[in-house]
């Protein structure tokens, strides 16, 4: 027990990295996802295809493979980046693919009649999206988007495998020193759970905020 308390600062630093990486990746991934999702929905043929290939490829390969590919691949291409940057890139590419699909699915789930009714009163394409489609889609997008965020926090533990000292690796390092395996992994599990519990709570708040009767 004392070992855990003594390791507090190290765990905290790892926790902070996990939070920072997750938040940053969610931000970048969401921006990519908005671009990807809109391309899937409204892009011209080449753009739509490109987005489709991106989304399907990334969702089809294990995240760990993606992380290794970027971590070992970028130096081969002559790009020297830190493990942290490589990890953030890999996770962002991963997150972006998922958010693209979340956005597309949310917008596609709005009945066609909504677009037709909006057309019939003379709204332009942009106006239809802005006043009719997106306000309805947002409440359908938030739950799976929050789900993606939760998955992302859990998936971020994989960055420990390219030596980014996140919560996972911090815990492993302390385990290596102290052999307090059970206790330390319980602490890790609890912390991951807490992060995701808070995210879910925020998600419920957002859902209520954007709900319409």
Partner 1 sequence: MTQKVVVVQDLVKRFGPLEILRGINLEVDKGEVVVIIGPSGSGKTTLLRCINFLEEYQGGRIYLDEQLMGYQNDNGKLVKLPEDTIAKMRADAGMVFQSFNLFPHMTALDNVMLGLTKVRKLAKNEAQDRAVTWLTRVGLGDKLKSYPAQLSGGQQQRVGIARAVAMEPKLMLFDEVTSALDPELVSEVLSVMEDLAHTGMTMLVVTHEMRFAKEVGHRIIFMDEGLIVEEGTPQQIFEQPQTERLRTFLGHFAKTL
Nearer to partner 1, 26 or 118 (CB): 118
Q: Which CB sits closer to partner 1, 1 or 213? A: 213
Q: Which is nearer to partner 1, 108 or 116 (CB)?
A: 116
Least Å distance, CB 112 to partner 1, is 9
CB of 123 vs partner 1, minimal distance in Å? 6
What's the closest the beta carbon of residue 208 comes to partner 1, in angstroms? Answer: 14
Q: Give the pair of three-digit tokens for residue 99.
A: 């958010």
Judged by beta carbon, residue 80 or residue 126, the one nearer partner 1 is 126
Q: How far is the CB of 209 from partner 1 (least distance, A)?
A: 13
Closest to partner 1 by CB, 131 or 197: 131
The three-state (H, E, C) secondary structure of the chain, written as one string: CHHHHHCHHHHHHHHHHHHHHHHHHHHHHHHHHHHHHHHHHHCCHHHHHHHHHHHHHHHHCCHHHHHHHHHHHHHHCCCCCCHHHHHHHHHHHHHHHHHHHHHHHHHHCCCHHHHHHHHHCCCCHHHHHHHHHHHHHHHHHHHHHHHHHHHHHHHHHHHHHHCCCCHHHHHHHHHHHHCCHHHHHHHHHHHHHHHHHHHHHHHHHHHHHHCCC
The rounded distance, in Å, linking the Cα atoms of 159 and 82 is 12
Binding site for partner 1 (CB under 8 A): 111, 113-114, 116-125, 127, 131-132, 135-136, 212-213
Instruction: Name the residue nearer to partner 1 (CB basis): 130 or 197.
Output: 130
Min dist. Cβ of residue 130 to partner 1 (A): 9
Structure tokens belonging to residue 64: 């760990």
Question: Least distance in Å: CB of 212 to partner 1?
Answer: 4
């Amino acid at each position: 027990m004392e070992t855990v308390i003594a390791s507090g600062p190290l765990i905290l630093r790892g926790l902070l990295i996990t939070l920072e990486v997750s938040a940053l990746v969610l931000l970048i991934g969401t921006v990519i996802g908005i671009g990807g999702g809109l391309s899937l929905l409204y892009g011209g043929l080449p753009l739509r295809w490109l987005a489709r290939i991106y989304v399907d490829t990334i969702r089809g390969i294990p995240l760990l493979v993606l992380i290794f590919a970027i971590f070992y691949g970028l130096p081969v291409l002559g790009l020297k980046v830190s493990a942290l940057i490589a990890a953030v890139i890999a996770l962002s590419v991963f997150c972006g693919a998922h958010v693209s699909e979340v956005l597309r699915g949310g917008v596609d789930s709005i009945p066609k009649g909504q677009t037709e009714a909006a057309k019939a009163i003379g709204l332009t394409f942009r106006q239809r999206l802005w006043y009719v489609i997106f306000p309805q889609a947002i409440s359908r997008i938030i739950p799976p988007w929050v789900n993606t965020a939760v998955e992302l926090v859990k998936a971020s533990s994989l960055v420990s495998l390219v030596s980014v000292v996140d919560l996972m690796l911090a815990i492993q390092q302390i385990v290596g020193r102290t052999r307090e395996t059970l206790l330390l992994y319980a602490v890790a599990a609890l912390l991951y759970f807490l992060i995701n519990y808070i995210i879910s709570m925020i998600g419920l708040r957002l859902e209520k905020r954007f709900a319409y009767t």
